[in-house]
Amino acid sequence: MVTGGKSMTRDREFKRQVRTRMRLTGERYTVAQAEVERAPGAERRPPQDPERLDMTEAPQPTVSPFNWFSDRSRRAVVHSQNLAHLDGSESIRPVHLLQAISMVAGLGDQLLRTHAPTLPWPPPEAPGEDPAPAPGLEKHIPFSPEAKRSFELAYTSSIADDPDAQNVSTQHLLAGVLDLGDGEVLTMVRQAGADLPQLRAALPGAPTTI
């Protein structure tokens, strides 16, 4: 009975991962299931096409960069899409990612609220609940080229942090957004009085000039 219970728990967790991936990518269940199944043994290499999040066609047989995203990072991506929709934006920009990171409990959120506490951050997500699409959001919003580039930089930060982890956490996402040097993001954080070099130094990867 105990073994059966553990098996059922693993099965529920697997299905939850598949459903989360479907929500992030728009993939069919069978496609998302296949990607989740092969993720643990997948070859690790830098993401080439983050646009896979708003799939409009069947994916090619390559490893999705989001196989490396932690659950919290995936949740932040969903929140960034909602924020872009509420902002009336036609694409998800780095500033939406920055705000979304602050909504998910983690190191990225802690550092943002510590170094830039006066910013009007969005309210934290409800604990224990998967983020749902914002009202009126009927299709996936694409990432801007700058947001895609920030994912590549987040991957670089993750490798610098631990080459064997195969894990992109919220602190890596934050490092990627800051390393991008996007004017909208830097202006927002500076206006809150944050010391950007100090904030960046607290994140994984080699410090950069901001």
The residues spanned by each domain of the chain are 1-38, 71-201
Beta carbons of 47 and 72 less than 8 angstroms apart: no
Percent of the chain having pLDDT more than 90? 31
Cα–Cα dist 17/141, whole Å:
21
Q: How many residues does the chain have?
A: 210
**132 Cβ neighbours under 8 A, 6+ residues apart:** none
Question: CATH top-level class for 71-201?
Answer: mainly alpha
Q: Is the pLDDT of residue 40 over 90?
A: no
Cα–Cα dist 174/153, whole Å:
10
3-state secondary structure of 69: strand
pLDDT in the model for residue 132: 82
pTM for this prediction: 0.69
**Alpha carbons within 13 A on the beta-carbon side of 99:** 21
3-state secondary structure of 178: helix
DSSP character for 54?
G
Beta-carbon count within 10 A of 122 CB = 13
| Arithmetic mean of pLDDT over the chain | 77
Cα–Cα dist 175/203, whole Å:
6
Label residue 27 by pLDDT band (50, 70, 90).
Answer: low
Cα–Cα dist 204/195, whole Å:
17
**Top-confidence range, 38-52, 82-96, 102-116, 120-134:** 82-96
Cα–Cα dist 113/126, whole Å:
17
